């Protein structure tokens, strides 16, 4: 048994992680500020955990929460794409300054093990190959192309169509939103900390997380909850672009399990994709939810968000080989169950 501090442990993913750690017979403390972007009202702290209600940027509060702690699972963050440059101070303050304060306090307290909640957004677009030029990194999509319904990225050299494949943890990072840039910065800060403190960091790059307890109508909702909320209101899920963009939807119970096993990761910094390994299209996911809920059927709108990417599908091989983690919930099964549970908030 060890004592684990979970930052953001009262949130959607954090509360599931906390429950999984308690079930694994760990002592757990939770540090959560109840940020209004993630919670409507004051959130309940998970039962069985020692609560600390404070902002992660409060160094004294973090020092207090770290007393007697053996490892930290760092979930706290502002999420969502971010609307633009006006969001930079809030995102950098919460995500990057908060992480820096945490890492400094961990070094001071002698805590040398961290599991970091990262994200697939660090990749930008996923893995692509051109028939003529081999593996390529497509440039960000242009507004004019998106407005014309040209959603697929092209080869940056010859303009030919690309084949999308599985992105691995060795792919270069290429953040294309405010949130993505802060997640890359978190990883870099944690990697420096690991080297300087001879510590262990497992950065878990979550793909599209869904499941019980998802909040409705906040930046934390995610596309699955947005579609689910529409269905609950008797409205058709509105699918952006042409619905053919590919993602990997991973159940929150699997994400929690990945956090538990990642506590045993090797020293140094190491990133891991946390994904189901069974990708689907956004339109296909919407259709499964609508069918399980009993309609109405999704509507493909052709609308787009400039910060979105086209295809991000992960290889989960490293997590399986090094952590022994493989997702247990099939997306078809998990999404059908998710269609029948109420959202939070």
Contact present, 146 and 304 (Cβ < 8 Å): yes
pLDDT at residue 197, rounded to an integer: 98
Alpha-carbon span 200 to 212, nearest angstrom: 30
What is the band of 41 on the pLDDT scale with cuts at 50, 70, 90? low
Nearest alpha-carbon partner for 50 in 16, 3, 92: 3
Instruction: List C-alpha distances in Å: 246 to 49, 188, 305, 306.
Output: 37, 27, 15, 16
Q: Categorize the per-residue pLDDT at 293 as very low, low, confident or very high, splitting at 50, 70 and 90.
A: very high
Highest mean pLDDT pick, 78-82, 85-89, 179-183: 179-183
pLDDT of res. 343: 80
Q: Indicate the range of 81-90, 123-132, 233-242 predicted with least confidence.
A: 81-90
- Mind giving me the DSSP string for 213-256? TPBSSSTTSHHHHHHHHHHHTT---EE-TTS--EE-EEEHHHHH
Q: What is the percent of the chain with per-residue pLDDT over 70, rounded to a whole number?
A: 94
Does the pLDDT of residue 337 top 90, yes or no?
yes
177, pLDDT greater than 80: yes
Q: Mean pLDDT throughout 175-198?
A: 95
With a cut of 80, say whether residue 217 has pLDDT above it: no
Count of Cβ atoms closer than 10 Å to residue 145 Cβ: 14
With beta carbons less than 8 A apart as the criterion, state whether 219 and 78 touch: yes
The structure tokens 């993630």 sit at 38
> Which of 211, 143, 136, 223 has the alpha carbon at shortest distance from 171?
136
pLDDT higher than threshold 60 for residue 317: yes
Rounded-to-integer distance, Cα 79 and Cα 119, Å = 10
Task: Specify the pLDDT at position 85.
Answer: 79
Rounded average pLDDT over 32-58: 81
Distance CA 125, CA 312 (A): 6
Predicted pLDDT at 82: 55
Rounded to an integer, the average pLDDT of 10-38 is 91
Share of the chain above pLDDT 90, in %: 84
83 — pLDDT class (breaks 50, 70, 90): low
Give the tens place of pLDDT for each residue, 96-116.
999 999 999 999 999 999 999
CB 162 within 8 A of CB 153: yes
Compare 45 and 24 and report the one with higher pLDDT.
24
Distance CA 169, CA 72 (A): 22
pLDDT in tens, 60-74: 999 999 999 999 999
What average pLDDT does range 2-27 have in this prediction?
96
Instruction: Summarize the confidence of residues 32-61 as an average pLDDT.
Output: 82
Q: Tell me phi and psi for residue 318, to 5 degrees.
A: -65, -45
The answer to whether residue 267 scores a pLDDT higher than 70 is yes
The yes-or-no verdict on residue 159 having pLDDT over 60 is: yes
Q: pLDDT grade, residue 43 (50/70/90)?
A: low
Reported as a pLDDT band with limits 50, 70 and 90, residue 344 is confident
Please write down the long-range contacts of 131-135, taking CB distance under 8 Å and 24 or more positions apart: 131/160, 131/163, 132/157, 132/158, 132/160, 133/157, 133/158
Degrees to nearest 5, angle at CA 127 with 141 and 82: 50
Residue 40: band (very low, low, confident or very high) from pLDDT cuts 50, 70, 90: low
What pLDDT is stored for residue 283 in this prediction? Answer: 97
The dihedral sign for the CA sequence 87, 239, 231, 120: negative
Question: At residue 218, does pLDDT exceed 60?
Answer: no
Q: What is the mean pLDDT of the chain?
A: 93
pLDDT at 42: 60
Residues with Cβ within 8 Å of residue 309, at least 6 apart in sequence: 124, 125, 126, 176, 245
Q: Quick one: how far is CA 310 from the chain centroid?
A: 17
pLDDT at 216: 74
Q: Is the pLDDT of residue 208 over 80?
A: yes
**What is the rounded average pLDDT of the residues 309-326?**
96
């Amino acid at each position: 048994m060890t004592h684990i501090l979970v930052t953001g442990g009262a949130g959607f993913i954090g509360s599931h992680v906390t429950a999984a750690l308690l079930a694994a017979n760990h002592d757990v403390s939770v540090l959560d500020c109840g940020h209004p972007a993630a919670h409507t009202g004051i959130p309940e702290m998970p039962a069985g955990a020692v609560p600390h209600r404070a902002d992660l940027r409060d160094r004294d509060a973090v020092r207090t929460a770290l007393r007697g702690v053996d490892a930290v699972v760092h979930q706290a963050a502002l999420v969502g794409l971010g609307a633009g440059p006006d969001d930079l101070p809030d995102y950098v303050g919460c995500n990057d300054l908060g992480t820096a304060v945490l890492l400094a306090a961990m070094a001071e307290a002698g805590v040398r093990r961290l599991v970091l909640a990262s994200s697939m957004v660090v990749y930008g677009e996923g893995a692509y190959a051109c028939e003529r030029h081999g593996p390529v990194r497509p440039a960000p999509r242009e507004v004019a192309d998106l407005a014309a319904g040209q959603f697929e990225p092209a080869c940056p050299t010859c303009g030919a169509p690309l084949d999308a494949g599985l992105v691995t943890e060795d792919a270069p990072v290429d953040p294309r939103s405010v949130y993505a840039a802060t997640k890359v910065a978190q990883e870099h800060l944690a990697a420096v900390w690991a080297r300087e403190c001879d510590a262990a960091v497992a950065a878990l790059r979550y793909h599209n997380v869904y499941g019980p307890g998802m909040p409705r109508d906040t930046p934390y909702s995610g596309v699955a909850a947005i579609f689910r909320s529409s269905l609950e209101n008797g409205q058709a899920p509105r699918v952006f672009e042409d619905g053919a963009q590919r993602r990997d939807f991973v159940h929150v119970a699997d994400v929690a399990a990945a956090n538990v096993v990642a506590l045993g990761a090797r020293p140094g910094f190491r990133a891991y994709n946390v994904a189901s390994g069974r990708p689907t299209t956004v339109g296909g996911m919407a259709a499964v939810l609508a069918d399980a809920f009993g309609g109405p059927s999704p509507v493909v709108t052709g609308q787009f968000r400039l910060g979105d990417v086209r295809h991000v599908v992960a290889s989960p091989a490293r997590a399986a080989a090094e952590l022994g983690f493989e997702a247990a919930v099939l997306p078809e099964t998990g999404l059908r169950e998710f269609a029948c549970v109420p959202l939070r908030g």
